[in-house]
Amino acid sequence: MRSESNEMMSEEMCVVSGDPSNLRTAGTKISGNPIRRESIAERSSCDIDPAALTARPDPKKIPAQLRKEFPRFQDETRRHRKILIRLKEDSQFARSTVQLSFALLCIWIGIEFAFFVKWGMSGGTAPFVGRPPGVEGFLPISALISLKYWLHTGVVNSVHPSGLFILVAIVVVSLLLKKAFCSWLCPIGTLSESLWLLGQRLFGRNLKINRWIDYPLRSLKYFLLLFFVYSIWQMDVAALKTFIDSPYNKMADVKMYMFFADITTFALWTIIILALLSVVVKNFWCRYLCPYGALLGAVSWLSPLKITRDVTTCIDCELCTKACPSGVKVHAERRVWSDECMACLSCVEACPVKECLSMKSGSSARATPRWVFATLIVGVFVAITGMAMLAGKWHNGISNEEYLRRFQNINTPLYQHSGGEVPAYGPND
């Protein structure tokens, strides 16, 4: 009985051989049994092994007209040309390059800021190093308050102006280009990705959390986001200005530095536990706890560009889903709307079929080349922050003399923060 069934399957499979357009036909139900679609267009006979009917398609069997072109950079002998061509052809190489460059920039900002704090804590006796404005990118709450104040008054505050424009740049990138900031520019995202890649190397795989646990955990970052948004939403213009001009906010970046420089045992173990969880679970912090990621995920729903799958050429190999670090079932979607999609293009790079997966503004729109997408991510961010620099809205208005005075009082109650409120202060504080 099984032999007859297999013969019937083989006979019906003969119909699709020789025509690439019939790749979809191989995924239909034959003799009442669902089978996985196979790339069988190049098979010249009907002698099919029944075991192969449940196997995933071999990319080598994809018809030539549907197969991705061989990367040109591998044939290039000149090193600089090879790098340039690979940046254009290999999205993951381009992404790694952008990630490394941005991470090094953040490290440089951190080093500069450490020397600035050393100068301030010494009372001005240590060699002076200017405060890097980019450090304000690590003050998201202050930036959100500055954003609301700007929208209500049209005034860019002079305390942390660069933080405001860094936030605007990040949100605009997400609005136009999905949640690309997280996978291309964010230093925390880069660190998180490095940790789970380390886990893959050490253990051969990462832990996949059951969806009934995964969904509630993913909601945590949205609860955190709602808490912060609600707290800021309740503040009127007067309350916003009170916070912005407070001694605490003026030294918030220094307080953040001191938190890590003199970290408590509890905070240190919290970071260690999060790091260990990130080794075994892909993007643990980003996926479950980052309120910034929740904000960008919500904004990314409005992005016109989304990963789009061509169902007419898809061979259902599921390599795209396997490559996705966010666990999105790309192979089952025509357009990926998921708020977890970070536009890393790993799925696009993994797909063996030419132009089957691409970043598009619509199903019938023209695909955005991967190198163009990468250029847009960096370009939009640099353009917005660059305009702030040119407009004189990058450096804050706090003088070095004021900083020295505040450094000497940094440990007083005036610079503490409790219960979501800043301490009362006078005009000379």
Gap between the Cα atoms of 118 and 127, Å rounded: 9
pLDDT by residue for the chain (429 residues), tens only, comes to 444 444 443 443 333 333 434 444 333 333 333 334 443 333 333 444 444 434 455 555 777 778 887 777 777 788 888 889 889 899 999 999 999 999 999 999 999 999 999 999 999 999 999 999 999 999 999 999 999 999 999 999 999 999 999 999 999 999 999 999 999 999 999 999 999 999 999 999 999 999 899 999 999 999 999 999 999 999 999 999 999 999 999 999 999 999 999 999 999 999 999 999 999 999 999 999 999 999 999 999 999 999 999 999 999 999 999 999 999 999 999 999 999 999 999 999 999 999 899 999 987 778 999 999 999 999 999 999 999 999 999 999 999 999 999 999 999 988 887 766 788 888 887
Contact 108, 138 (CB under 8 A): no
Residues of the chain with CATH 3.30.70.20: 306-367
Q: What is the 3-state secondary structure (H, E, C) of 266-284?
A: HHHHHHHHHHHHHHHCCCH
Q: What does the pLDDT read at residue 287? A: 96
Please provide the CATH number assigned to the domain covering 306-367.
3.30.70.20
Q: What does the pLDDT read at residue 234? A: 92
Contact 425, 415 (CB under 8 A): no
Phi and psi at 264, nearest 5°, equal -80, 160
pTM, full prediction: 0.83
Gap between the Cα atoms of 354 and 69, Å rounded: 8
Percent helix, strand and coil across the chain, each rounded to 5? 60, 5, 35
| Sequence-ordered list of residues with C-beta below 8 angstroms from that of 301, at least 6 positions apart, any chain | 337, 339
Gap between the Cα atoms of 263 and 7, Å rounded: 70
Radius of gyration of the chain (CA): 27
Token pair for 12: 């019906």
